[in-house]
Amino acid sequence: MSSMVAALLPSNPTATPNHRCALLSLRRRLTAAVRFSQCPIASASFTRASRSDWQALCAILSSKSAAAAALGSSSDKPSNSPVDPSAAEPDHGEATNHRLPSSTNSTSAVVKSVVFSAAAGGVDLAPTPNLPRPLSIADLSPAPMHGSRLRVAYQGVPGAYSEAAAGKAYPNCEPIPCDQFEVAFQAVELWIADRAVLPVENSLGGSIHRNYDLLLRHRLHIVGEVQLPVHHCLLALPGVRKEYLTRVMSHPQALAQCELTLTRLGLNVTRESFDDTAGAAEYVANNGLRDTAAIASARAAELYGLQVLADGIQDDSGNVTRFVMLAREPIIPRTDRPFKTSIVFAQDREGTSVLFKVLSAFAFRDISLTKIESRPHRHRPIRLVDDANVGTAKHFEYMFHVDFQASMAEPRAQNALAEIQEFTSFLRVLGSYPMDMTPWSTSSSPTPPPSSSPSL
């Protein structure tokens, strides 16, 4: 027993003070226990103890001394030094559960004193297992509140004109690129995005009919508009010269808007359509096409590492695209600033008299119309007219999109729609929203959207 007590002291002279104090305390208590066992009265108790009881006692003392040595030495190491988890001390509850027979009560007292003295010497509890961490407020991603950053969906990739329009509409938004127009609609409907900014018409290319059809298919509301000047550039890989080009890629609208300039530059190239302007620039850069150029913005050249071969190649310097801002809920119309209202209706009678009555409802109330667009009726594309004298005639059924300058908060706009509803089979208000009255310059290219909190 004395040899086991002596073995508990470390032979290393550089042992930590806490370590040595803990083991010295163990030695003093074990020495007292040995002396107590040598007394005539106590010797009988220890004689009656079985050999298995002593082996259990030695096992507990050895485990405590090993834990004290491992944890005591690791306390003086840097915090990033590895520690063997198997050397950690078990819980006190586990230690006290190693019970001896009733004939060795004095031995049990020694065991308990060793456990608590080891704990007093700086031995910590064993580390808890790697349990799942509870969720905190930082783990949640709530929808943006008023004044926080809005998520705005647009069609295209970074560098597209739609991204610049989203940045102009919501100057501090988080842009979300979408590969298709319908994906942008669905992103807002499914609460992935808070807004969508999509083009509806261009001053040179005309209306984007796809978005007019999607406005009817989806139940989103127009809450604003933004007009963006388009500044096209001819982009190619660094070191490529114009005479080496055999192909030009871009959106069909962009190709049409630069047709005369490409011819004036003497470029004998084939035109190839792409989903969007910035996507064409990304395709040229990613595939290393040294015989192909892209028509896109100067920001796309910066993003994808292309050089600008020609700047401002649009045929008309007044090239402007109009975008609409879409949301799940409409805004409350006001009368303190210029408003525009967009509607769509279908007529249920033949001839042009119904369309004339609709236009007259606005003219009599001095309401200016800014847009009239007709689209074939999706559910009734053909109307049959049977005339006994001339046979059967087939006519297209149309849906009419109309934008007029008035707010739905004005009585004249409300009265006009009430009159129109009397002789139309379908009428829907797409939105009543503020007009874009911000000045713009045709000499500068669109700027990218910043990245902080929006004002809307």
Catalytic residues: 321, 323
Report residue 186 as tokens.
Answer: 């669905």
8-state DSSP, 285: H
Q: What's the one-letter identity of residue 446?
A: P
DSSP characters over 321-365? EEEEEEESSPPPP-SSS-EEEEEEEE--SSSSHHHHHHHHHHHTT
| Residue 427 DSSP SS3 | strand
CA 172 to CA 322: how far, in whole Å?
A: 20
Q: Which phi and psi (to 5°) does residue 139 adopt? A: -80, -15
Q: Which phi and psi (to 5°) does residue 19 adopt? A: -65, -45
Residues in the chain: 456
Q: Which phi and psi (to 5°) does residue 98 adopt? A: -80, 85
| 5: CB partners within 8 A, 6+ apart | 26, 27, 30, 31, 34
Tell me the angle at which helices 17-38 and 105-120 cross, rounded to the nearest 10 degrees: 170
Q: What's the one-letter identity of residue 299?
A: R
CA 184 to CA 196: how far, in whole Å?
A: 6
Contact assessment for residue 402 and residue 372, using Cβ atoms and an 8 Å cutoff = yes
